[in-house]
Amino acid sequence: MAIGDRQLGMSKGLNRFAILVACATFFLIIAGALVTSNDAGLATPDWPLSNGQFFPKMVGNLFWEHGHRMVATTVGMLTIVLTIYVLAKEKRQWVRRLGIFALVAVVAQGLLGGLTVKLMLPLAVSTAHATLAQLFFCTTVSLAVFTSRSWIEARPLHEEKESLPLRYLCSAALVTIFLQLIIGATLRHSAPWDKHLPTELILAHIGGALAVTLMLGSAGVAVLRRHKGESFLTGPAALALVLLVVQLFLGLAAYLTRLASPKDPQPLNPMISITVAHVACGALVFATSIVLTLRTFRVLPAHEKTVLQDLHDYSGLTR
């Protein structure tokens, strides 16, 4: 018989609300990327008001810029409610702390957004704003993971025979993806649509793409091979691999359309939609890899066989 939510110490309502905030944040990332791709960052040079008004007419690029602020305000308010909800329902101290961190992160992100407008979009601030957006998204996704039934009910899996522990393989892939997101953000904000992207940053980003493909590819394939039938792990692993392939194609398409965009009279499609899709899919690759990594930590043992132990076994010393 299935164990009740209360016996498990979980709140279905809290879990659903965390999923809602994560989805709203993903939508906000798309709204933000539309500001950048439409070159609408300075549609209004003031903040917190827009052109001196609380709600300006949403015309021209103000639609993207002010629209992004409205979506951000909604997500900010949802995050306040989420933090209160977490503090009210959660007993696990570390989950409560993560709830408070989400609130701090969203406030910092809002301030960075305002700052980038006030300072007229300096590379460092715009890049920090793009990067913190991804980190905040992953915080909301993690809260959704930690409050889920599948997380709370998960049971340890058998220790693997292979030598390289999956939790470290997945963590390494995650760090590589995060570095790639930072390079991507630096690349994206280093030249507007009417200028060519700097070659050294493109090369660094292509190098990063190779590293991500290698790390996430081997982590994903290892999970699929070692834990066949364990959908708790194979689900996010398969999804991460599919998203990685999509992201590589979108990256190539973003590069080609950005190569042509300086000849256009203004930012146009397909450049806008492809670059926005590349940012959004980057967030999904990162989020799925976070889910996978957290789950490996949840169900796989900390100490698996090391390479040395394997050599020891093979040489017959322990038989």
Q: Tell the smallest beta-carbon distance from residue 60 to ligand HEM (Å).
A: 15
Q: Which of residues 211-240 bind ligand HEM (CB under 6 A)?
A: 212
The whole-angstrom separation of Cα 58 and Cα 72 is 16
Helix extents (H) in the chain: 5-8, 12-37, 62-89, 93-118, 123-146, 149-153, 166-189, 199-226, 231-260, 271-299, 307-314
Shortest CA distance to 116 belongs to which of 200, 32, 22, 51? 32
Of 285 and 299, which CB lies nearer to ligand HEM in the complex structure?
285
Asked if 154 contacts 232 with a C-beta cutoff of 8 angstroms, the reply is yes
Question: Which of 89, 167, 205, 298 is in the footprint of ligand HEM by CB under 6 A?
Answer: 205
Question: Which of 47, 101, 168, 178 is in the footprint of ligand HEM by CB under 6 A?
Answer: 47
The whole-angstrom separation of Cα 315 and Cα 319 is 9
Q: Tell the smallest beta-carbon distance from residue 263 to ligand HEM (Å).
A: 15
Question: Which of 258, 291, 293, 298 is in the footprint of ligand HEM by CB under 6 A?
Answer: 258
Q: CA gyration radius for the chain? A: 22
Q: Tell the smallest beta-carbon distance from residue 231 to ligand HEM (Å).
A: 24
**Span of 112-120, 163-171, 291-299, 308-316 interacting with ligand HEM by CB under 6 A:** 112-120
Asked if 292 contacts 236 with a C-beta cutoff of 8 angstroms, the reply is yes
Shortest CA distance to 72 belongs to which of 126, 127, 110? 110
Residues forming contacts to ligand HEM in the complex (CB under 6 A) are: 28-29, 32-33, 35-37, 41, 47, 68-69, 72, 75-76, 106, 109-110, 113-114, 116-117, 121, 126, 129-130, 133, 136, 177, 180-181, 184-185, 187-189, 197, 205-206, 209, 212, 244, 247-248, 251-252, 254-255, 258, 275, 278-279, 282, 285
